[in-house]
Amino acid sequence: MTTAPCRFMDRYPEEGRDPVPVERYTSTEYFDLERERVFRRKWLNVGNVLQAPKPGDYFVADLKILDTSLLVIHGKDGKFRAFHNQCSHRGAPVAWDAQGSCKGYLACRFHGWVYDTTGKLVHISDAENFPGVKPEDNGLTPVHCEVWQSFVFVNLAAEPEETLAEFLAPVAGEIGRYDFSGFTPAFSYRIDEAVNWKTLQEAQLEGWHLPFLHEKTLARAVKTDGNQYRHASIELYGLHGVLGSPPPDSFTPSPVAQLASRFGTGTVQAFGAKVENEGEGYKFRGSFDFWHIFPNYFVGLLNGLYFTFNIWPVAVDRSVWEIKGYYPPVTTAGELFAREYSKVGLRDPMMEDCFTHELICAQLKSGAKQHIHFQDEETLVRHLGNGVERCVRGLA
Residues interacting with Fe ion, by CB under 5 A?
203, 353
Minimum distance from residue 95 beta carbon to ligand FES (Å): 12
When the beta carbons of 113 and 307 are compared against ligand FES, the nearer one is 113
Minimum distance from residue 111 beta carbon to ligand FES (Å): 3
Report DSSP letters for 276-298, one per residue.
---TTS---SSSEEEEEETTTEE
Minimum distance from residue 257 beta carbon to ligand FES (Å): 51
Distance CA 316, CA 170 (A): 29
- Give the one residue of 59, 113, 284, 288 binding ligand FES; rule: CB under 6 A: 113
Distance CA 308, CA 322 (A): 8
Judged by CB under 6 A, which stretch of 11-19, 28-36, 107-115, 175-183 contacts ligand FES? Answer: 107-115
Distance CA 382, CA 392 (A): 15
Distance CA 394, CA 34 (A): 11
Minimum distance from residue 43 beta carbon to ligand FES (Å): 29
- Give the one residue of 92, 213, 372, 392 binding ligand FES; rule: CB under 6 A: 92
Minimum distance from residue 354 beta carbon to Fe ion (Å): 9
When the beta carbons of 113 and 229 are compared against ligand FES, the nearer one is 113
C-alpha to C-alpha distances, 129 to 89, 133, 138, 139, nearest whole angstrom: 13, 9, 16, 18
Residue 353, binding choice from ligand FES, Fe ion, none, Cβ under 5 to 8 Å by partner class: Fe ion
As to burial, measured by CB atoms within 10 angstroms (0-12 exposed, 13-18 middle, 19+ buried), residue 382 is buried
- Give the one residue of 27, 105, 110, 144 binding ligand FES; rule: CB under 6 A: 110
Q: Does 87 bind ligand FES (CB under 6 A)?
A: yes
The sheet carrying 318-327 orders its strands as 184-193, 318-327, 305-315, 297-302, 288-293, 240-245, 233-237
Report DSSP letters for 188-199, one per residue.
EEEEEESS-HHH
Distance CA 171, CA 148 (A): 12
Residue 90, binding choice from Fe ion, ligand FES, none, Cβ under 5 to 8 Å by partner class: ligand FES
Q: Are 135 and 124 in contact (CB under 8 A)?
A: yes
Phi, psi of 245 (to 5 degrees): -105, 125
Residue 374, binding choice from Fe ion, ligand FES, none, Cβ under 5 to 8 Å by partner class: none
Residue 87, binding choice from Fe ion, ligand FES, none, Cβ under 5 to 8 Å by partner class: ligand FES
Residue 309, binding choice from Fe ion, ligand FES, none, Cβ under 5 to 8 Å by partner class: none
Residue 180, binding choice from ligand FES, Fe ion, none, Cβ under 5 to 8 Å by partner class: none
When the beta carbons of 114 and 330 are compared against ligand FES, the nearer one is 114
- Give the one residue of 46, 82, 106, 108 binding ligand FES; rule: CB under 6 A: 108
Q: Are 146 and 153 in contact (CB under 8 A)?
A: yes
Minimum distance from residue 89 beta carbon to ligand FES (Å): 3
When the beta carbons of 64 and 89 are compared against ligand FES, the nearer one is 89
Phi, psi of 336 (to 5 degrees): -65, -40
Report DSSP letters for 141-177, one per residue.
-EEEEEEETTEEEEE-SSS-SS-HHHHHHHHHHHHTT
When the beta carbons of 110 and 263 are compared against ligand FES, the nearer one is 110
- Give the one residue of 89, 283, 318, 365 binding ligand FES; rule: CB under 6 A: 89
Minimum distance from residue 346 beta carbon to Fe ion (Å): 11
Q: Does 111 bind ligand FES (CB under 6 A)?
A: yes
Distance CA 327, CA 303 (A): 10
Phi, psi of 29 (to 5 degrees): -65, -45
Phi, psi of 155 (to 5 degrees): -140, 125
Minimum distance from residue 232 beta carbon to Fe ion (Å): 17
Q: Does 373 bind ligand FES (CB under 6 A)?
A: no
Chain residues in the site for ligand FES (CB under 6 A)? 87, 89-90, 92, 108, 110-113
